[in-house]
Amino acid sequence: MRKSLKNSILLLLVCLLLSLWGCRSNAAPEATPTPSIEATPTPEPTPVPLNEALPLQLAAELTDGDHSTWAVTFEGSGVILESTERKIGSVYLEWESIPGQWKLTADGQTILCGQNGYLHEYVELDAPANYIVIETPVPLCDVYAFEPGSEIPDWVQIWHPALEKADLLLMPTHADDEHIFFGGMMPYYAGEKGYKVQVVYLTSHHWNNPVRSHELLDGLWTAGIRNYPVIGNFNDRYADSLEVALERFDKTEILKFQVEMLRRFQPSVVIGHDLNGEYGHGVHILNAISLTEAVTLAADATVFTDSANKYGVWDTPKLYLHLYPENEIIMDWSVPLTAFGGTTALDVARAGFACHESQQGYFYVYGEGDAYDSRRFGLYRSTVGPDVQGGDVFENITSFY
């Protein structure tokens, strides 16, 4: 498994220029109704095949595979990777927070990185190097190096930018909702069918529980998503009703954000939350209600003109809502998927949710017989007619717009 691989990095000769070390608590104040989870002790590393990663001599925080620990540096310092016998061909970095532009110097040649704003970033060097300096504008959680020509492990996230145009747009509220309530949508349509699937989250967890931002990326990667998600600037705040959600969030700003996303990605199909907020979560309700309005507003050039001028307008052909009782379809997440070695879409969704370690024990991916069954959706809005056969959100989409 990915985590056991991370915890198994051997010690070699490497220097780390760090002035202060620190660890971050995993607590989550006033977020989703989830108690804080204490970090577990880091196990001792064990040997792994050399084609998995070059063994590095780094501080424990950078080799423990734990997103809740990181190394703090003062301005001007950085991480030095040095190998006298074997060259380094690529590196994989997981930052404490999105670093912005940063520099990697390999044998004296500088590469500017970070332009895409990734939290997890893979960098392939222009030429193999023995000596690398990674300038660290923000703390690093974990560092991995690989020999040139070696097989890169599948847990290394080599992200592509967000799509210019999506076939399917998923709009969950929080990290983990995309697995819990939308079930096999990502593994089936992105992984198996090869459709262009973009995920857009309403809220950000970084202000109150940063580890969930890492879990988000790990879960998407496991479920077959390869285009980097969009994460809204709305801080995660729990609300036990729509009324409380409206007190804590500006609905106009949410509508503006949703309309911009619809215009930007021009999806054929959009998937949203239950109008009752699944288990009554007020922000799920607000997200769903706003989305039903946004699909109409996005087609009106007089509304939120900045995004209309930037992307044009968009009339979304199909909007499905989780558990919506009218025009209902039931997805079959039990079919083995070739892209995942015969694993079913439901089991892949559960594997994706397992990456959300901070949320285990409180939620799970709901299936047949569950009140929040992730197979059940209703066609809330369609410009291409009703579903007849069912079981496919792309029914009646004869060509991608």
Q: Does residue 137 or residue 153 have the better pLDDT? A: 153
CA-angle at 62, arms to 137 and 130, nearest 5°: 80
Dist. CA 184–CA 345, nearest whole Å: 5
User: Quick one: fold of 168-382?
Assistant: Rossmann fold (3.40.50)
Return the amino acid letter for 252. Answer: T
Domain spans of the chain? 2-146, 168-382
pLDDT at site 364: 95
* pLDDT above 90 coverage of the chain, percent: 73
Cα–chain-centroid distance for residue 4?
21
Please provide the DSSP assignment of 130-194 as one string. Answer: SEEEEE-SS-EEEEEEE-TTPPPPTTS--PBPPPSS-SEEE--SSTTHHHHTTTTHIIIIIIIS-
| Average pLDDT value over all residues in the chain | 86
**If pLDDT is split at 50, 70 and 90, which confidence band does 209 have?**
very high
- Residue-level pLDDT at 53: 67
Task: Please check whether residue 357 is in contact with residue 194, taking contact to mean a CB–CB distance below 8 angstroms.
Answer: no
Strands 168-170, 197-204: parallel, antiparallel or unpaired by DSSP?
Answer: parallel
Query: Matching CATH topology for 2-146 and 168-382?
Result: no
Residue 68 predicted with pLDDT over 90: no
- Segment 116-125, tens digit of pLDDT: 999 999 999 9
For residue 328, is pLDDT > 60?
A: yes
- Return the pLDDT at 5: 38
Nearest to 37 by CA among 209, 239, 220, 279: 209
Tell whether domain 2-146 is in CATH 2.60.120.
yes
Tell me the C-alpha distance between 81 and 135, whole Å.
Answer: 11
Rounded distance between C-alpha atoms, residue 134 and residue 172, angstroms: 34
- In the predicted structure, residue 295 carries a pLDDT above the cut 60: yes
Q: How far apart are CA 346 and CA 357, in angstroms?
A: 18
Order of strands across the sheet with 109-113?
15-16, 78-82, 131-135, 102-106, 109-113
Q: Residue 73 and residue 141: Cα distance in Å, rounded?
A: 12
Cα–Cα nearest to 320, from 268, 251, 263, 282: 268
